């Protein structure tokens, strides 16, 4: 029984490590506005930053890079964003190449430091998604439903047969589980 618990714990640790590796792998840097950069939109294009943001998916750990000339970028709250009110910025940059790390899930609001530019559409909302839940639910194989328990507890021979069926469709974590299970 002790070794079974060690096995279950080991699989949970493997799963967490796998998720972590994936998160690190996927961290991205987004150039805001793409090749257009961060600038006052033309009169017929006031939604250009909305359009840009809706084409992207942002995750915790990603960064936004604002590239601009003769302009600035402010991190503001929702009120500042909707009213183009720049008097209470949370962060301000004017160095032409400003990186903001998206360090939490939820909404981030940005505007130009020039309220006229903001009113023309030089403002941005980014919705940041959590890469995975804070308390990840254990993988199905680590906590199988009652009906699936007997094979796990039965001798190695019956454990091995169902696992041999479709290795190719299993994730590396499940394969690691199988390797550990085979070693028990």
Ligand X SMILES: *[C@@H]1O[C@H](CO)[C@@H](O)[C@H](O)[C@H]1NC(C)=O
Q: Which residues bind ligand X (CB under 6 A)?
A: 33, 36, 42-45, 48, 69-70, 85, 87-88, 97, 99
Q: Report the residue number, 113 or 151, with the smaller CB distance to ligand X.
A: 113
Q: Report the residue number, 10 or 115, with the smaller CB distance to ligand X.
A: 115
Q: Report the residue number, 98 or 139, with the smaller CB distance to ligand X.
A: 98
In DSSP terms, which residues pair with 29 in a beta bridge? 63
Q: Report the residue number, 33 or 139, with the smaller CB distance to ligand X.
A: 33
- Nearest approach in angstroms of CB 58 to ligand X is 17
- Nearest approach in angstroms of CB 124 to ligand X is 12
The Cα–Cα gap between 158 and 120 comes to: 68
- Nearest approach in angstroms of CB 92 to ligand X is 15
Residues 37/72, Cβ–Cβ less than 8 Å: no
User: Who's near 33: CB < 8 A, 6+ residues apart?
Assistant: 39, 48, 49, 52
Q: Report the residue number, 83 or 132, with the smaller CB distance to ligand X.
A: 83
- Closest C-alpha to 116, from 51, 41, 53, 33: 41
- Nearest approach in angstroms of CB 162 to ligand X is 50
- Nearest approach in angstroms of CB 126 to ligand X is 16
Question: Coil, helix or strand for 95?
Answer: coil
For residues 19-39, one letter each, b for 16 or more C-beta atoms within 10 angstroms of the residue's C-beta and e for the rest, the string is beeeeeeeeeebebbeeebbb
Distances, alpha carbon 96 to alpha carbons 32, 50, 79, 85, in Å: 12, 21, 25, 21
């Amino acid at each position: 029984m002790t070794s079974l618990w060690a096995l279950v714990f080991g699989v949970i640790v493997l799963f967490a490590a796998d998720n972590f590796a994936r998160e690190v792998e996927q961290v991205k840097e987004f150039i805001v506005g793409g090749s257009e950069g961060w600038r006052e939109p033309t009169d017929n294009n006031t939604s250009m930053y909305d359009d840009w943001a809706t084409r992207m998916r942002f995750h915790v750990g990603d960064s936004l890079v604002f590239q601009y000339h003769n302009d600035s970028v402010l991190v503001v709250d929702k009120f500042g964003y909707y009213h183009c009110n720049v008097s209470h910025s949370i962060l301000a940059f004017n160095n032409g190449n400003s990186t903001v790390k998206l360090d939490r899930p939820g909404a981030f609001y940005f505007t130009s430091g020039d309220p006229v530019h903001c009113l023309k559409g030089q403002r941005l909302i980014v919705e940041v998604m959590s890469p995975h839940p804070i308390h990840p639910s254990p993988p199905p194989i680590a906590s199988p439903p009652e009906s699936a328990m007997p094979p796990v507890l039965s001798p190695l021979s019956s454990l091995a047969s169902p696992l041999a069926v479709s290795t190719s469709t299993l994730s590396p974590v499940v394969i690691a589980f199988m390797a550990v299970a085979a070693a028990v």
